[in-house]
Structure 1
Amino acid sequence: MSLPRTVSLSALPVVLQWVLLVILAGAAGQGLRHADVPAGQFLGPMLVAIAFGASGATIRVPKLLFKLGQGCVGALIAHSISLAVLLSLAQTWQMMLLATLLTVSLSALVGLGLVRFAGLSASTAAWGTAPGAASAIVGMAEEQGADARVVATMQYVRVVCVVVVGAMVSRLLGVEGGASEVQAAPFAFDLSSIFNLLASLAVIASGALLGARLPAGALLLPLFLGGLLQVTGLVQIHLPATLLAVAYGVIGCYVGLRFDRPTLRYVWGRLPAMVLGALLLILLCAASAWVIAHWLGMDFLSVYLATSPGGLDAMAIIAVDTQSDVGLVLAMQTLRLLGVVLTGAFFARLIMRLSVPRPAVD
């Protein structure tokens, strides 16, 4: 099966590619935002960047900008952290642990299905379906001998599916995207506001500089540091709406531009199976979220976003934008991220062992 021909952007000057990307991504993000699409400022740029990547664009978002964008999301989540939120999470740790184990197990089951029915190698399918931080998973997969190109594609295909489905679920439930409380707060040019803004920017920078060695460290370090400063009353996290819009766009473009034409051509024949596997995993996680929400009397959308096998930053953006239980989403996504990093090699070996045909017994 050959990849359809598309208009190539590689012949355009790099500066022109950047100008077109910024204009179109910004327009798409603002358009979806004004259409009240949840996480529209993230989803719009990501879809535009996917089209650019598949059309031969040679530009890539620098890793430092991506880390700073993650840091903005981490600081935004830190704004929602309070002692009441922490106490509420401490009372539901058993449920969070159970949901995390269930999501990881379901991903292993889907990976085994891709090995049996889609012809993927066991190690590639195992790492490709692992519901963790995509960049960390790709690095670990490469160290274990899996095909990093296919693993990366599977990871980002799932991220795209999760974001699109998450926005659709939010809209179907009647939840409209809108500015969060921290976005809507006007900025007052007084000494206190300026101090809070500078402190918030310093928290974001700390993630890009110090969080490189941790999975999603650029997001988690500002989150924990900003949350600590906010809970203790030392700083009130404040981020201008324009800065958040740029951060969402940077993250969306970073993910979207990873879908370059050579990678898509390499996996084109298996792409339908990857999309089907991602949608199946999303459906299974949604079913488990419905059971958990019904069992504990919780908000389904919050539990769905918390158990959804997407990126931590993407789910956090949707949670904040839809005014879901950000603390729950954050805690469960972070717990699952750590669980995947710690158990990824074990589940990869398990899938490889289960996928080996047993010798016939006479």
Structure 2
Amino acid sequence: MPTALSRCSSPSFQWPALLICAGAVGQVLHALAVPAGLFLGPMLVAIVFGVCGARLSVHRQVFRFGQGCVGLLVAHSVSWAVLVSMAQSWHLMLVATFITVVLSALVGLGTVRFGGIPGSTAAWGTAPGAASAMVSMAEENGADGRVVATMQYVRVVCVVMVGSLVSHLLGATPGPVVAPSAVLAPDAMPWLDTLLSLAIVLVGLVAGNRMPAGALLMPLLLGGALQLSGLLTINIPEALLAFAYGAIGCYIGLRFDRQTVRYVWKRLPTMIAGALALIVLCAVCAWGLAWAMGVDFLSMYLATSPGGLDAMAIIAVETHADVGLVLAMQTLRLFGVILTGAFCARQIIRLSRV
């Protein structure tokens, strides 16, 4: 006879418990007007499950599907006016990307000097974005992938929680879970728009399979292009988008298992301090850029937050921030981090040995 403990530790029990708790907490946070509550709730619940020893993991393709839905949702905000605005401010976006990369390198060097984290690990762990790519590149270069992954996801959690708090303090209130579709003509068929939207997500997942953040960017690019051309009215059911938010949150949260936390426990305060320091430095940078570009601070803050492209996109959509600006700058930094990651890592390692 299986004991109650063994039944509780079996995946057949853990999965329903995770889904029920994650969905309930997400709905409660959303009802309380917490920005990105449908994403933040499942992520926090999944962290608790992971640390408590739940042997669960969200399949990567489910995670990518969630990213694709978020990408298509963001594509709904793409318009010619947004593109013109981005084209006019491209030089400031490049400056912001450069500043963020430099700040992350300084924070990485600080964690080496004052936190006792090896330079090869800190160099990749403090890179502001492209978490999965940084972990892969770190392992290829001989760094400890476990610590790099923990540093990356600790920063993602800090960015999401601080971003939600800042959005709340600035008075931003979440809108509907799904972006409102364009007004349909009398003979229009919403179900057809939904099927076409899902088809764009699936095509984007395949096309972006080998592209950094391709699961989010390819549906966004395809959906945005078709919407601008007038060939598609993006329509994502509310329940499907809530599922996408939850899938992304649970995927991130379940990466925090007991073994990983125990392995890095002594260095966890340093990781959190480094993540918060980078967030504060980027916020100061955002204040200056918001003044220079004449945009609101919340949009610029989300645009310069160090990492979590999908999470920042969710918060931007729900708080009615400038989604185009947030997406453009986050995407630009994503590619900037990937292209300069190896160079920055070598410089941090070299300076840490001085």
* TM-score under structure 1 length normalisation: 0.93
Deviation track 1:190-232 (CA, whole Å, cap 9, x = no partner) reads 6532221111101111233232211111001001011111111
Alignment of 1:143-162 (within 5 A): 143-162=140-159
- 2:60 matched to which residue of 1? 63
Distance 1:188 1:31, change over 3 A: farther
Shift of 1:89: 0.4
CA contact (8 A) 1:9 1:17 kept: no
Shift of 1:184: 7.6
State how far apart, in whole Å, the 1-side matches of 2:34 and 2:91 are: 33
1:64 partner amino acid? Q
CA contact (8 A) 1:68 1:207 kept: no
Distance 1:27 1:101, change over 3 A: same
Shift of 1:186: 9.4
1:325 partner amino acid? D
Deviation track 1:31-53 (CA, whole Å, cap 9, x = no partner) reads 00000000000000000000000
1:44 partner amino acid? G
- 1:19 matched to which residue of 2? 16
The yes-or-no answer on 1:134 pairing with 2:122 is no
Number of aligned residue pairs: 350
Which residue, 185, 196, 201 being the options, matches 1:199? Answer: 196
CA contact (8 A) 2:282 2:306 kept: yes
Which residue, 71, 75, 79 being the options, matches 1:78? Answer: 75
1:349 partner amino acid? R
Shift of 1:297: 2.2
CA contact (8 A) 2:177 2:242 kept: no
Deviation track 1:88-110 (CA, whole Å, cap 9, x = no partner) reads 10000011000000001000000
* TM-score under structure 2 length normalisation: 0.95
- 2:289 matched to which residue of 1? 292
State how far apart, in whole Å, the 2-side matches of 1:188 and 1:204 are: 24
Alignment of 1:1-362 (within 5 A): 12-179=9-176, 182=179, 192-357=189-354
1:128 partner amino acid? G
1:103 partner amino acid? T
CA contact (8 A) 1:46 1:253 kept: yes
State how far apart, in whole Å, the 2-side matches of 1:194 and 1:243 are: 13
CA contact (8 A) 1:38 1:178 kept: no
- List alignment gaps of at least 5 residues for structure 1: 1-7, 358-362
Name the SS for the 1:46 alignment partner. Answer: helix
Q: CA RMSD in A?
A: 1.8
CA contact (8 A) 1:178 1:322 kept: yes
2:69 partner amino acid? C
State how far apart, in whole Å, the 1-side matches of 2:300 and 2:54 are: 37
Deviation track 1:164-194 (CA, whole Å, cap 9, x = no partner) reads 0000000110111221562588999965322
